[in-house]
């Protein structure tokens, strides 16, 4: 067993949202839950999820590789995704990304040597009025990310 019983309970809760026999519909949610627990999705994890749902591993793999928020390779403890799409760019989205690159000393799709931070370039997160926006570990959205607020966020994450 590679996942905790609590996570598997959450799997079952997701499966219950769909009609009997359609448990495959829960694959996106289960992959997300597995990633939350293990940090990224290895081939073994994807196969485990597929078996749990009674679907072909290749079908689960197709899903995992299609959607951008799944990580198919290890990432840092803190994955930071910055939106640089046009509406955000008009309000400093690219500046925020550049500042992060400078502070962390890495580019997009890179991880700091200590394994703490990974930086990603994101597309519209549906929050353009709050630009610059970034997403921490897929789950927490941070708005109006000026330099000062980026400093605060990094200091907070550094301690974790």
Euclidean distance between CA atoms 106 and 154, whole angstroms? 14
Closest distance to ligand FES from the beta carbon of 54 (Å): 37
Euclidean distance between CA atoms 160 and 155, whole angstroms? 9
Euclidean distance between CA atoms 2 and 46, whole angstroms? 11
Closest distance to another protein from the beta carbon of 58 (Å): 12
Closest distance to another protein from the beta carbon of 114 (Å): 26
3-state secondary structure of 24: helix
Q: Which is nearer to another protein, 12 or 62 (CB)?
A: 62
Reading the block at residue 119, the tokens are 């930086």
Euclidean distance between CA atoms 78 and 136, whole angstroms? 7
Residue ranges that bind ligand FES, judged by CB under 6 A: 83, 85, 87-88, 93, 124-125, 127-128, 131, 133
Residue ranges that bind another protein, judged by CB under 8 A: 17-19, 22, 24-29, 31-32, 53, 55, 59, 62-63, 66-70, 84-92, 94-95, 98, 122-131, 135, 138-141
């Amino acid at each position: 067993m590679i996942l905790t019983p609590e996570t598997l309970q959450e799997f079952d809760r997701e499966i219950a949202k769909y009609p009997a026999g359609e448990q495959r519909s829960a694959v996106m949610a289960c992959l997300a839950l597995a990633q939350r627990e293990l940090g990224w999705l290895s081939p073994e994890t994807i196969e485990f999820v597929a078996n749990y749902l009674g679907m072909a591993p290749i079908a689960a793999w197709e899903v995992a590789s299609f959607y951008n928020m799944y990580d198919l390779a290890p990432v840092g403890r803190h994955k930071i995704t910055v939106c640089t799409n046009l509406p955000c760019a008009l309000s400093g989205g690219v500046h925020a990304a550049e500042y992060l690159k400078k502070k962390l000393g890495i580019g997009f799709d890179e991880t700091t040597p200590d394994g703490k931070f990974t930086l990603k370039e994101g597309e519209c997160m549906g929050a353009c009025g709050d630009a610059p926006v970034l997403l921490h570990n897929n789950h927490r959205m941070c708005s109006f990310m000026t330099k000062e607020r980026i400093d605060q966020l990094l200091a907070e994450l550094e301690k974790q």
